[in-house]
Amino acid sequence: MMESGVPLCNICGEQVGLINTNGEVFVACHECNYPVCKTCLDYEIKEGRSACPRCATPYDENEQESTNHATMASHPSTAEDVGVHARTVSTVSTVDSEYHDDTRNPIWKNRVESWKEKKNKKKKKESKTVVQEAAEVPPEQQMEEKPQLADAAEPLSRIIPVPKSQITPYRIVIIVRLIVLCLFFHYRVTNPVESAYPLWLISVICEIWFAFSWVLDQFPKWSPINRETYLDRLSARYEREGEPCQLAAVDFFVSTVDPMKEPPLITANTVLSILAVDYPVEKVSCYVSDDGGSMLTFESLAETSEFARKWVPFCKKFSIEPRAPEFYFTQKFDYLKDKVQPSFVKERRAMKREYEEYKVRVNALVAKAQKTPEDGWTMADGTPWPGNNTRDHPGMIQVFLGHSGVHDIEGNELPRLVYVSREKRPGYQHHKKAGAENALIRVSAVLTNAPYILNLDCDHYVNNSKAIREAMCFLMDPQVGRDVCYVQFPQRFDGIDKSDRYANRNIVFFDVNMKGLDGIQGPVYVGTGTVFNRQALYGYSPSNLPTIHKSSSSCSCCCRRKKPAKEKDLAEVYREAKREDLNSAIFNLREIENYDEHERSLLISQMSFEKTFGMSSVFIESTLMENGGVPDSANPSTLIREAIHVIGCGYEEKTAWGKEIGWIYGSVTEDILTGFKMQCRGWRSIYCMPLRPAFKGSAPINLSDRLHQVLRWALGSVEIFLSRHCPLWYGFGGGRLKWLQRLAYTNTIVYPFTSLPLIAYCVIPAVCLLTGKFIIPTLSNVASILFLGLFLSIIVTGVLELRWSGIGIEDWWRNEQFWVIGGVSAHLFAVFQGFLKMLAGIDTNFTVTAKAADDGEFGDLYIFKWTTVLIPPTTILIVNLVGVVAGFSDALNKGYEAWGPLFGKVFFSFWVILHLYPFLKGLMGRQNRTPTIVVLWSVLLASVFSLVWVRINPFVTKDDPSALVQNCIDIDC
């Protein structure tokens, strides 16, 4: 936002500048302090716009004269210089070379000069009209409006740093721990254990990797921040009474595939919460992507659109939260509290009855869909359902609700609701969720083209109706939102047991790691609950590009050839001017007259856009409309045909979709890859944590489903590691990704590989107990201090992290436990599966066999599903339990002098067992109902093994029988 304390001009993006050597910043408007530099002010005055663009206050005449004099003295007043300085805009890196010749000059610039003159004349007339209207306002009314305008000019959010009393000790302990680690490794490397050299070597390698992983995880948390938004200022600035609402439009994306696995009722609740959001209805459009082409999803949306006519006005009338009916009616709270409307109780009961009837209709559709007819499904008019073959069907679009269509029961307009099922044909790669999201980008651009996009999973509903306004406090702030590609909200979940046995809430990640990333370049994209800037998804760079320090010839989107300073400045000027010219030329194509076809093709450079965005002129026009909207001359019937065209299965062939624009292909975790590409271009993201969670969803709470979810995430990280987008080598040429941010992205792709040293380190204690060896030699005084310092630094780091983040110790401990559980199971399989898939082309799937669960609360928690992912942690548990029994048996056999060395070995084994305890409970089944057979077999095996170990110890040195005979001197031997 600021550089050296000098604000940035809101017209050109450069620093406003100083007017004297005392450091006084130039001010164009003394009423609202709207930041405008001298050059832009001079240009505005020459164009006839003599009033502030924010508050419409005329500029001071003395200021105008001094500004004109200063500008003429310091800059040549050429029309070309002024014109190119008028606007700073972003550009598409993939098509940059298409519009310039070898000398970086725009090849089409001269062809639009005549049209630009017409455009400038039109702007002059509009500005004069604005000034006249401002002059006609009585002075008394102007005085009343000035305080309101001043409030509206204030920032819409602010950064709240973590108090120094909390963050400074935390940073000191990190440095101290790093120093202790260096001393510790010096001791470990220089003091090998000769009697157990292989075990010692493996343990040292594992410890070095753990330290490396800690550095990757810890240093991106160096500068955590919190943020606060001001919704009242947002309304004062963009929702002034008596004026049209200026809030930006938002397109919501909801993705679903299989209605049998993703119940239609859950998807319907997500859609209803979107339609009832606290935002102007004409600014909201909801697109539901049915990637399975299911008639059940289609019919359930038809029922949902009908129920929305009653549900939406009810929500807005009584300001209820949350606005998903299933979760509103099932929450346990006093709904009469703070409700003063006498009709609320009656209407709530009626609405609950309406919802129960709606559920019955939807469940009847689900029951009917259990058995597919032999001839396939047919629609109401008797025609076959186009999506009967889920892998071979045409594209389908249905608009259920719209601003000019069906109204609610009170006669008010409803947000637009659109059903979309993209075309599927055999032989085409459809790229799963990423491909579905890209299809929604294109179809929404053709139909509504909102400048911002919010994507949600079908099981994540809007829990805070003001969540969109929270995001707009960042995206619509002229100073904050200039280079923001997305606003990420934390994920919160319903239906998780109080102890959160398998760390489903991910509190440490969302409340610690993401806050730390917000203080660098922004949080990573986590797949849902994210509000995007549409221009960032198109592959454009932010308007205020950082300086490129390095030259590189790599294939990165950020890389460009290093140029001399003068040539680089000239290229930057042309790049800034290019977007305005393209926008003018393409969007107003129908207004340009007296041009033949050849001149038009040269004017637009259409082919370069088609190579990037595909063969759709309507969609290409929409990509250049920074503020969104559909052209006034657009024909609705034409738009529908074009929307069907852009969701065709072959539309993305030979384009940049999935490579440089949209959701990026190449990984099952397309979210991490997409956010990484954006931030490599120079964008930053923002983490928004309102007091009331913005969105809530559901999570797999039983052990097997949770491990398979983690397996999918880890597999995506391995795929990114083995691809060209690996943060270890991608994007260095542009220099726009900060180093701490690169460390964070590196951590997101290398963490699955920690499974290999983690498994080794979990098995070593058991091996030590079974063999009588140990990985640590006899400790000296210095070594004891090092070990004590290391353990203390680990504990203090955790305590201070809990202090500044505000999370509880139970959440932190659950995260530590599941780090071990997931590391020795899902992460290990992800590493092998990733290498098989990326290097050998073998796609391995691990089957899950489900067993019936008991009815009741959290019944799913006790479902046992056998899968191969469970084998490694089960083996580690058994080996460590056997090792503990063997260790104690051996100590009993040798006497009291063996108990000292036993303590250290047993401590490490108990550390492993304690971390795997939630996994052990998951294996045993329902809480407090451990199967008797499991207890009996465990006791029996432990007893038998103990007796056998005492009688026959394979690790005890065998004595010579003859020597024993000679030593026997009496019967007691």
Rounded Cα distance, 60 and 57, in Å: 9
The CA distances from residue 337 to 314, 315, 317, in Å, are 17, 16, 16
CA dihedral 619, 623, 628, 631 (to 10 degrees): -40
Contact yes or no for 433/465 (Cβ under 8 A): no
**Is 255 labelled as part of a ligand binding site?**
yes
Nearest Cα residue to 879 out of 955, 818, 832, 945: 945
Nearest Cα residue to 508 out of 816, 856, 98: 816
**Is 261 labelled as part of a ligand binding site?**
yes
**Is 457 labelled as part of a ligand binding site?**
yes
Active site residue 291: yes
| Token pair of 335 as six digits | 């709904």
Contact yes or no for 571/563 (Cβ under 8 A): yes
Rounded Cα distance, 637 and 838, in Å: 45
Nearest Cα residue to 742 out of 680, 659, 687: 680
Rounded Cα distance, 922 and 865, in Å: 10
Q: Which of 42, 291, 459, 581 is catalytic?
A: 291
Q: What does DSSP say about strands 452-457 and 695-698: parallel, antiparallel, or unpaired?
A: unpaired
| Token pair of 237 as six digits | 């600035």
Q: Is 453 in a helix, a strand, or coil?
A: strand
**Is 432 labelled as part of a ligand binding site?**
yes
SS (H, E, C) 272-335: HHHHCCCCCHHHEEEEEEECCCCHHHHHHHHHHHHHHHHHHHHHHHHCCCCCCHHHHHHCCCCC
| Token pair of 268 as six digits | 């319907």
Q: Which of 42, 671, 705, 811 is catalytic?
A: 671
- For the four alpha carbons of 18, 24, 29 and 32, in that order, the dihedral sign comes to positive
Question: What's the first-to-final CA gap in the chain, in angstroms?
Answer: 88
Nearest Cα residue to 625 out of 586, 677, 682: 586
Contact yes or no for 747/221 (Cβ under 8 A): no
**Is 262 labelled as part of a ligand binding site?**
yes
Count, residues in the chain: 973
CB-based contacts of 733, cutoff 8 Å, min separation 6: 548, 550, 551, 552, 553, 554, 556, 558, 559, 560
Instruction: Give residue 474's identity as a one-letter amino acid code.
Output: F
Core vs surface per residue 823-861: b (16+ CB within 10 A) or e: bbbbbbbbbebbeebbeeeeeeeeeeeeeebeeeebeeb
> Which DSSP helix (H) or strand (E) runs through 134?
helix 113-136
- Find the angle CA(570)-CA(572)-CA(575) to the nearest 5 degrees: 110
Core vs surface per residue 191-222: b (16+ CB within 10 A) or e: eebeebeebbebbbebbebebebbebbbbbbe
Burial tier of 319 (Cβ tally within 10 Å: 0-12, 13-18, 19+): exposed
Contact yes or no for 330/322 (Cβ under 8 A): no
Q: What does DSSP say about strands 452-457 and 484-488: parallel, antiparallel, or unpaired?
A: unpaired
**To which residue do tokens 């058991």 refer?**
766
Rounded Cα distance, 815 and 79, in Å: 62
Contact yes or no for 431/512 (Cβ under 8 A): no
Phi-psi region of 935 (alpha: psi -120 to 50; beta: other; left: phi over 0): alpha
Q: What are phi and psi of 258, to 5 degrees?
A: -115, 110
Binding residues: 255, 261-262, 291, 432-433, 457
- Active-site residues: which are they? 291, 671
Residue ranges of the binding site for Mn(2+): 433, 457
Annotated binding residues for UDP-alpha-D-glucose? 255, 261-262, 291, 432
